[in-house]
């Protein structure tokens, strides 16, 4: 079934119209923009403008899920090596928060309790 656009007279199928709807991105709400700005202010590396960084961030498909992770993430960079902290855009594009999440999960007993010599 084809539909005709009342403005331009262009014919399109239902499948084409559905694909066009998927391509339309929802802009971040003011609350989500505030969350990103809060994360951005905590980030110690070099940054560009807020709008530029937010636009870059929303290019990822799962940016809404990532945003909640970033607000809870502890940014523990080595203070003495501040020149090696990546730019914010690099941090986002290379998904470096995933490496930081893995560091937070370290267990106090990496070899298990069976190797605890203090156990009697």
pLDDT digits (tens, 9 = 90+) for 70-101: 888 887 776 666 778 888 889 888 888 888 77
pLDDT, greater one: 13 or 35: 35
DSSP 26: P
Mean pLDDT taken over the chain? 77
Q: How far apart are the C-alpha atoms of 106 and 45, rounded to whole Å?
A: 25
State the average pLDDT over residues 8-15. 72
Q: How far apart are the C-alpha atoms of 37 and 31, rounded to whole Å?
A: 10
Domain spans of the chain, in order of start: 30-104
Residue 24 has pLDDT above 60, yes or no: no
CB atoms within 10 A of CB 17: 12
| pLDDT band with cut points at 50, 70 and 90 for residue 120 | low
């Amino acid at each position: 079934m084809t539909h005709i656009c009342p403005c331009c007279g262009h014919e399109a199928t239902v499948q084409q119209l559905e694909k066009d709807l998927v391509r339309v991105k929802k802009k971040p709400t003011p609350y989500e923009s505030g969350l990103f700005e809060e994360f951005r202010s905590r980030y110690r590396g070099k940054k560009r403008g807020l709008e530029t960084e937010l636009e870059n961030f929303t290019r990822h498909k799962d940016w809404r899920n990532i945003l909640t992770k970033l607000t809870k993430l502890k940014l523990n960079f080595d203070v003495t090596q501040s020149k090696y902290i990546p730019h914010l855009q690099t941090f986002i594009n290379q998904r470096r928060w995933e490496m930081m999440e893995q560091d937070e999960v370290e267990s106090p007993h990496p070899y298990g309790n069976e190797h605890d010599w203090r156990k009697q």
